[in-house]
Structure 1
Amino acid sequence: MPIRQQNRGKRLPTRIGIGLLGLAMLATAACQSTAVDSAGSDGFGHVHGIAVNPGDGRLYVATHHGVFRVSAAEPAKRVGNGKQDTMGFAIAGADRFLASGHPAPGEGGPAHLGLIESTDAGHNWRTLSLAGKADFHALRVAQGIVYGLDSTTASLMASTDRVNWQVRSTVETNDLAVDPGRAETLLAATDQGVRRSGDGGRTWSSASGPALRLLHWSEPTQLWAVAPDGQILRSTDGGAAWSTTGGRVPNAPAAFTVDGGTMYVATEDAKLLRSTDTGATWQAM
């Protein structure tokens, strides 16, 4: 079943959302946004994922033109010199980033980066595996297991050492979340409801519950989601039951994450926002 994703302005045969990654991409750098304007002449381009680094507590933004660090106190700043099209993006620990995507224009090497890693908060990157073979549009990490949704094959893959991979299944999804306490439990957000896997993505249940676009599983009892209409939902039982928080994401969301009591969202009209009241009000970053 095809999964749709926008990449370099073209439609690809896979569809995967971003939570730390993009269901729908942000507008190009021509959009008027303080964060984009201050990010450099090429700006963000598309935003594919956002996540908070526990090493410094700041928000990092994976974009069409590299990885940027963003805070409320300073303009967005590219980290290091890398300008790769950073598609799948996950923070696996303090200053330890995982990513996938494509080299920057003019750079050599294969068209697909496979899995790359930075151990210095995005300043430098090295290839770990699958160079030229995989283009992960979503990466999730829990208890040492890395899950990736490969756009070239529409496959969910898993690795325990970040070098050797297993193909687990094909799943149509807007976004993917992994239980931080039970790494074999995954949820896939779809327009028909939520699908669940209890065996590391090898098999999936039928869709049930609300239609969802974006997911973030911050703690075993704190699962957050964004519905197609922008409503923010929460589940305390691993997605069996959902309740609305009363908050709503302004405009169409492209990326979503939660850190402690703060929610962050990137929207399709090139804005980065934060909320400390479960989405009732938002402040521009």
Structure 2
Amino acid sequence: MKKSFRGTTAGAAATTLGLALTLALTLTLTSCSRDRPAGDAPAALSHIHGLGARGDTLYVATHGGVHSPGPAGRPVPVGDRRDDFMGFTVTPTGAFLASGHPAPGPDGPADLGLIESTDSGLTWRERSLGGEVDFHSLDTAADSTVYGYDSANGRLRISRDGVTWQDGAALRALDIAVSPASRDTVLATTETGVARSTDGGKTFAPGAGQVLAYVDWGAPDALFGIDSNGVLFRGTGAEAGAAWSRVATVPGGAPQALTVVDARRLLVATRDGVYESRDAGRSFERRMEVTSGGGAH
């Protein structure tokens, strides 16, 4: 059955959050499909790398392909690809973009580059950078400009068409988010706080303020972030440097992914489940069960 929870506020010292994010950053640079056994994905998921929605349908990108919740919140595979989707996003037009590593099998490129699905994850095609790049975070601007964080090289990359790429700033980050109102405003979560770019990712100011693990921007007035303890924050005044106010603590422990669908609908993956809020983070309902996977991206 689905379970409903009411969030509660909680705090943590900035140094503790910084240490936790440092660990998460280390794990995200080393995590890959080689530690995943071959074969179909397990009945219960543990490694969540991205979340998305089309209408009421929830999509969960994992270490073993994309899944949606079935009866009693059990994960049901979408399509037949069991790739390790390290980066995942749903574009403003409803297409799925992903990156990561191929499923175990015949020898081939270690990195997927950028791949795309236009049928909600049933089939995929390569767009660019196959065998070259593993994006651990992906986001798109309102004009479909694609931003990807190349974790192996510690660099942001930008593409207007998903095919031709430009190098952006070099930085050590866990997650990125692009402003829905301005493609040139990009946020990145770092060990010292949220870093901000106002020139399309070419440069970033040093990370400062609230230390967050994941951040997402679902609408101009819907910027949210979550720290390594699962405390959810809402950002205001982000175009001039966000101020963060605490909203609630998401159930289930350390977060694995965050997606903001709109000003009221949020999706969060934690250690024990994928949760959905329809009231801007004040309460959450568990949509899918997750086994403890360490909480790292």
Q: Name the % identity.
A: 40
* Structure 1 residue aligned with 2:57: 58
* Structure 2 residue aligned with 1:70: 69
- For the 8 Å contact 1:221–1:237, the answer to whether it is kept is no
CA distance in 2, matches of 1:138, 1:163: 17
Runs of 4+ deviating beyond 4 Å: 71-74
- For the 8 Å contact 2:267–2:276, the answer to whether it is kept is yes
Change (3 A) 1:244 1:284: same
- For the 8 Å contact 1:45–1:65, the answer to whether it is kept is no
CA distance in 2, matches of 1:278, 1:144: 25
Within a 5 Å distance, the mapping from 1:249-264 to structure 2 comes to: 249-250=250-251, 251-260=253-262, 261-264=264-267
| More deviation, 275-284/93-102 | 275-284
Within a 5 Å distance, the mapping from 1:116-135 to structure 2 comes to: 116-135=115-134
Letter in 2 for 1:68: H
Change (3 A) 1:221 1:41: closer
Letter in 1 for 2:244: W
* Structure 2 residue aligned with 1:23: none
More helix by share: 2
Name stretches of at least 5 consecutive residues in structure 2 with no aligned partner: 1-21, 288-297
CA distance in 2, matches of 1:112, 1:218: 28
* Structure 1 residue aligned with 2:165: 165
Alpha-carbon RMSD across the aligned residues, in angstroms, is: 2.6
CA distance in 2, matches of 1:91, 1:135: 17
- For the 8 Å contact 1:47–1:61, the answer to whether it is kept is yes
Q: CA deviation at 1:208?
A: 2.1
Q: Deviations over 1:3-46 (max 9, x none)?
A: 531523789xxxxxxxxxxxxxxxx99xxxxxxxxx96464341
- For the 8 Å contact 2:222–2:260, the answer to whether it is kept is no
Letter in 1 for 2:32: R
**TM-score, length-scaled by structure 2:** 0.78
* Structure 2 residue aligned with 1:240: 242
| More deviation, 154-163/39-48 | 39-48
Name stretches of at least 5 consecutive residues in structure 1 with no aligned partner: 12-27, 30-38
CA distance in 1, matches of 2:135, 2:110: 12
* Larger RCO of the pair (alpha carbons < 8 Å, separation 6+): 2
Q: CA deviation at 1:272?
A: 1.4
Q: CA deviation at 1:73?
A: 7.3
